[in-house]
Amino acid sequence: MTGRKLVASAFVLALLQIGFLGWIIAGRAAVLRSGAEVLLKVEPVDPRDLLRGDYVFLSYDISRIPAKLIANIPAGRTSSEEGPIVVRLRKDADGYWRPASAWLGAAPAPAGEGEVDIAGRIAAGWDLTGDATLSASYGIERFYLPEGEGLAIERDMRVRPFGVRVAVARDGTAQIKALMDGDMMLFEEPVY
Amino acid sequence: MAAYSSRVRADIDRWAAAGLIDASTADALRRDVETSARRSLSFGSVLAMMAALLLGAAILIFIAANWEAIPRLARVGAVFLVILAGYVGGAVAKTKGHPAVGEALWIVAAAAFGGGIALVGQMYHLAGSESSAVLTWCAGTALAAAALRSGPLTVAAAGIADGWLAMNLTGGFRLFGRTEFPGMFVAIVAALFVLSYWTRSTAARHLILLSLIAYVALFALDHDVLPVAVGLAGVSAVLFAVAVLAPEPVEAVVRLGGRLPLHALIGFLAGMTMIQFAVADESGIGGFAVASAVALAGIVAAVVLAGRQSRGLRWIAYIGFAFELVIVYLVTMQTMLGTAGFFLAAAVIVGLLAFAIVRIERRWAAPAMQGA
C-alpha cells in the first residue's frame, strides 16, 4: 500500500467510525427532542442488584405486565416466546403513566389521544395464563451516574417514590429524559 | 546494538576489499546484520504497544468515571478527535518509516472507538446491549485492521472477541434469561482468521486457534463433555498427523510458521484431559486407564514424530506429560498401591520407548554423518 493511499484509507476509516457514533447520537437525540413524554414510576429492586459500578439499576411498575392485559395471546399458548411486546400507556390521576393494554409483536392500531405505545421485549418461558405477570424490558433499565453518586440515590430510592421521565418515539423506542425524586428533578439529560 | 551493527558493516566492507570474502558472502552477511538489527528494535515497538494499551485503557476508564467537570459534548468531541488523529496520524507515521509508532497510534484509535460506544451508551442510558456494544467494537476494530492492513489491530479484534466470549460465559452482560451458549464466537473468529491472511498476522492466527481450543473446552463443559472432548482430541490428532506428514502444503494454507502441530497437541491434551475426568466420574477405573494410556501414548507419539524439529512442541509435550502424571495421581489417589503400579508400568514402557528412540535417532543420524 502506498503512503498516500494508506493515509486516505485511515481518513475514510476514521470518518466511518465517527459517523457511526454520530448516527447513534443523532437517533437518540431525535427521540429526546420529539418523542412523547411519559412519567414512569420506579420501583425499588433487590438492593444487591441495585448498584453495579457506575449506574443504578431501575425497575419500573411497567416492568411487570399482567398476562391478562395482553390482548392477542394465541389460543392454546401457555408460556411466552422471546420477542417484542408493545405496551399502551395511559396517564393516571397521580401523574404516572401505567399500562392500559398490551400486544405481543405489534399493536393493531396506532395509539389514540392521551395514549403512548412503548416497545419492549419479553423473554421466553413466562406464564401467560390466569393472574400471572411477566417481565418486560424497554432498554431504559439503567441510569448512569457520575462516579460516587450512585449509593446515595440507591438509599433514597428505597424510602421515597422515584420517577423517570421518558421520551418515547413514534416507533416505541424509549429514551430516559430525567430522573425525578418525587417532584424534584435530580438529573435532566441534555439532548446531546 | 546499532554501534555493533555499524562496526560489523565496516568490517564486512574491509574483508570484502581485502579479498577475504567474496561479494555474495558480503551481501549475505550485510543482510543478516540488517535483519538482526531490526529485530533488536522490537523492544522499542513492544514498549510503544504497551504505552498504546495503557493510553487506551486510560481513555476507557476515564469515560466510565463519567466526570461531570467536562461537558459531555466536549467528551464526545475529544473521543472523535482521538479516533481521527489516531488513525490518520498512525498512517502518516507508518509512511514516514515509523511502523511501531503507527501501529501503536492505531491501537489507541481503536480503543477510542470502543470508548465512544461506551460513552454513547452512558449518555443515553442504553440498557441491556453491552453484548452488542462489545461486538460492534470488535467489528469496528476488524474493519480498521482490514482497511489499514494491520496485524496488531487484527490481534486486538481477536482479543475483543475473546473478551466478549468471557463476559458472555461469566454472565457479565446480565441479559435477561440468556442461557444459550454464544455460538456466534465461531463465526466471528472464522472471519478474523480469514482477515489475518490479508493483514499477514501470524500472531492473530495463533491467538485464534488457542481461543478456539478454549471455546471448544468450555462448550464441552457447558454441554455433554464426552462426545465434544472426543471430537476435540480426534480432530486435533488428525490435524497433527496431517501437519507432520505433509508439512509444506499445510504450511502453505495455514501459514503459522510451522507451528500447527503445537496447537494440535494442545487441543489433543485439552480433549484427553476432559475425557479422563469424564470417564473417571462415570465408568470406574478401567475407562480412565485406557484414556490415560491414550493420552500418554499421544504425547510420546508427538515427541517421536515432531519433537526433533520443534523445541516448543517438546516443551508442551513435557508439560503435558507432567500434567498427565498429576491427573493420574489425583484420580487414583484413593488407591496409592494402584497408582504406584500404574507409574511402575508407565516407567517401564517409557523407559523402553526411550531406549528405542535413542537407537532410532542414532540410526537416523549415522547415515547422515557418513554422507556429510
User: Does B73 have pLDDT greater than 90?
Assistant: no
Write down the pLDDT at residue B128. Answer: 60
Query: To which residue does cell 476507557 refer?
Result: B60
CA B230 to chain A, closest CA, distance in angstroms equals 33
**In 3D, which of B216, B206, B299 has the Cα closest to residue B258?**
B206
Chain A residues in contact with B79 by the CB 8 A cut-off are: 21
Write down the pLDDT at residue B129. Answer: 65
Write down the pLDDT at residue B176. Answer: 40
Chain A residues in contact with B65 by the CB 8 A cut-off are: 54, 146-147
Q: Is the Cβ pair B125, A12 closer than 8 Å?
A: no
The size of chain A, in residues, is 192
Write down the pLDDT at residue B366. Answer: 62
Chain A residues in contact with B124 by the CB 8 A cut-off are: 25, 28, 175-176, 189
Chain B residues in contact with A28 by the CB 8 A cut-off are: 120, 123-124, 126
Average pLDDT value over all residues in chain A: 85
CA–CA separation, B77 vs B63, rounded Å? Answer: 13
**Amino acid symbol at B113:** F
Chain B residues in contact with A64 by the CB 8 A cut-off are: none
CA–CA separation, B307 vs B299, rounded Å? Answer: 10
Nine-digit cell string for B95: 509512511
Residues 167-196 of B with CB under 8 A from A: 174, 176-177
User: Does A146 have pLDDT greater than 70?
Assistant: yes
Q: Is the Cβ pair A7, B91 closer than 8 Å?
A: yes
Nearest beta carbon to residue A144 from set B106, B122, B140: B122
Helix (H), strand (E), coil (C) string for chain B: CHHHHHHHHHHHHHHHHHCCCCHHHHHHHHHHHHHHHHHHCHHHHHHHHHHHHHHHHHHHHHHHHCCCCCCHHHHHHHHHHHHHHHHHHHHHHHHCCCHHHHHHHHHHHHHHHHHHHHHHHHHCCCCCCHHHHHHHHHHHHHHHHHHHCCHHHHHHHHHHHHHHHHHHHCCCCCCCCCCCCCCHHHHHHHHHHHHHHHCCCHHHHHHHHHHHHHHHHHHHHHCCHHHHHHHHHHHHHHHHHHHHHCHHHHHHHHCCCCCHHHHHHHHHHHHHHHHHHHHHHHCHHHHHHHHHHHHHHHHHHHHHHHCCCCHHHHHHHHHHHHHHHHHHHHHCCCCHHHHHHHHHHHHHHHHHHHHHHHHHHHHHHHHHHHHC
Each residue's pLDDT tens digit, A18-28: 999 999 999 99
Cβ neighbours of residue B121 under 8 Å, at least 6 residues apart? A144, B129, B130, B133
User: Does B372 have pLDDT greater than 50?
Assistant: no
User: Does B41 have pLDDT greater than 70?
Assistant: no
pLDDT interval class at B174 (50, 70, 90): very low
**In 3D, which of A62, A132, A17, A158 has the Cα closest to residue B84?**
A17
CA–CA separation, A83 vs A106, rounded Å? Answer: 11
Each residue's pLDDT tens digit, A95-119: 899 999 999 988 888 888 889 999 9
Ramachandran assignment for B25, one of left (phi > 0), alpha (psi -120 to 50 degrees), beta (any other): alpha
ipTM: 0.76
CA B115 to chain A, closest CA, distance in angstroms equals 10
Q: Is the Cβ pair A147, B66 closer than 8 Å?
A: yes
Write down the pLDDT at residue B371. Answer: 45
Tell me if A140 sits within 8 A of B127, measured CB to CB.
Answer: yes
The whole-number average pLDDT for the span A30-42 is 89
Write down the pLDDT at residue B188. Answer: 95
Write down the pLDDT at residue B185. Answer: 92
Residue B25 CA from chain centroid, whole number: 37
CA–CA separation, A103 vs A72, rounded Å? Answer: 6
pTM: 0.77
Q: Is the Cβ pair B67, A146 closer than 8 Å?
A: yes
CA A14 to chain B, closest CA, distance in angstroms equals 5
Read off φ and ψ for residue A2, nearest 5 degrees.
-75, 165
Write down the pLDDT at residue B1. Answer: 46
**B61 versus A49: which is more confidently predicted?**
B61
The whole-number average pLDDT for the span B228-251 is 90
Tell me if B261 sits within 8 A of B310, measured CB to CB.
Answer: yes
> Which chain A residue lies closest to B128 (C-alpha atoms)?
A139
The whole-number average pLDDT for the span B37-50 is 73
CA A126 to chain B, closest CA, distance in angstroms equals 10
Each residue's pLDDT tens digit, B121-168: 888 888 766 788 899 999 999 999 999 999 999 999 999 999 999 888
Mutation test of the interface with chain B: which of A6, A176, A186, choosing the one with the most B Cβ atoms within 10 A?
A6
User: Does B248 have pLDDT greater than 50?
Assistant: yes
Write down the pLDDT at residue B178. Answer: 46
Q: Is the Cβ pair A17, B66 closer than 8 Å?
A: no
Q: Is the Cβ pair A14, B125 closer than 8 Å?
A: no
Chain A residues in contact with B113 by the CB 8 A cut-off are: 17, 21
CA B28 to chain A, closest CA, distance in angstroms equals 28
Q: Is the Cβ pair A17, B140 closer than 8 Å?
A: yes
Q: Does A54 touch chain B (CB under 8 A)?
A: yes
**In 3D, which of B53, B52, B74 has the Cα closest to residue B63?**
B74
Nine-digit cell string for B201: 498476522
Nearest beta carbon to residue B148 from set A6, A141, A192: A6
Write down the pLDDT at residue B326. Answer: 77
Nine-digit cell string for B60: 476507557
Tell me if B190 sits within 8 A of B184, measured CB to CB.
Answer: no
Q: Does A20 touch chain B (CB under 8 A)?
A: yes
